[in-house]
Amino acid sequence: MSIPRPLHHSSWSRSSLPSWSRLEFPPSGWIALNTDGAVSNSTSLGSTAGLLRGSLGNWLGGFSKSLGITSPVHAEFEGLKLAWSQGYEKVQCQVDSSDVFNMVSYANARSSPLSLARSIASLRDRGWAIEYKLILRDANVAADIIAKSSLRQTPAQMFLDSAPSFLQNTLGNDISSLFNTAH
């Protein structure tokens, strides 16, 4: 079985050999997009969520969406749609699933049998810079918390212009840990 080669495109990039990393700030001038999904054990219905942060870890926006039956790729799609709609031109997608990372970051996403992978490839080609970074699961806690909380939410979709109160401690811990490792 051959491993697909990454597409080298001027508007997005990924490393040829993914490696896992901890949470870190995106480069100056970039934003970080963290996404995640959750599935209810009792209903088997899913939700997706994500957040956008600046190069200093500051909250720029977020979303949560109840979806019914879904896949982890849907979270990435919704997050990219949000980043595009907010006008961000340089987005570092921090993904904690190697399956999602491989599905959305290779050139063959355009010809994938999964419509979401093709939709992500279409978004990727809109003339902005997108970089994929594979992160550890514990570096994606904030997105995970939002996704789990959105299992019970109405309306079905929400834009979060400010960080929810239940997320404040997690975001503070993220920023503290980043500054502690940076110095």
pLDDT for residue 30: 97
Kindly list the structural domains of the chain, giving each domain's residue range(s) and its CATH number in brackets, ordered by start. Answer: 12-182 (3.30.420.10)
H or E segment to which residue 61 belongs: strand 59-68
Cα 43 → chain centroid: 24
> Which regions in the chain score pLDDT beneath 50?
1-17, 183
* pLDDT value of residue 143: 92
Please provide residue 107's backbone torsions phi and psi, each rounded to the nearest 5 degrees. -60, -30
Residue 35 pairs in a beta bridge with 50
Q: What is the predicted pLDDT for the residue at 3?
A: 35
Nearest to 178 by CA among 91, 59, 56: 56
- State pTM to two decimals: 0.81
Letter for the amino acid at 174?
Answer: D
**Residue pair 134/98 in contact by the 8 Å Cβ criterion:** yes
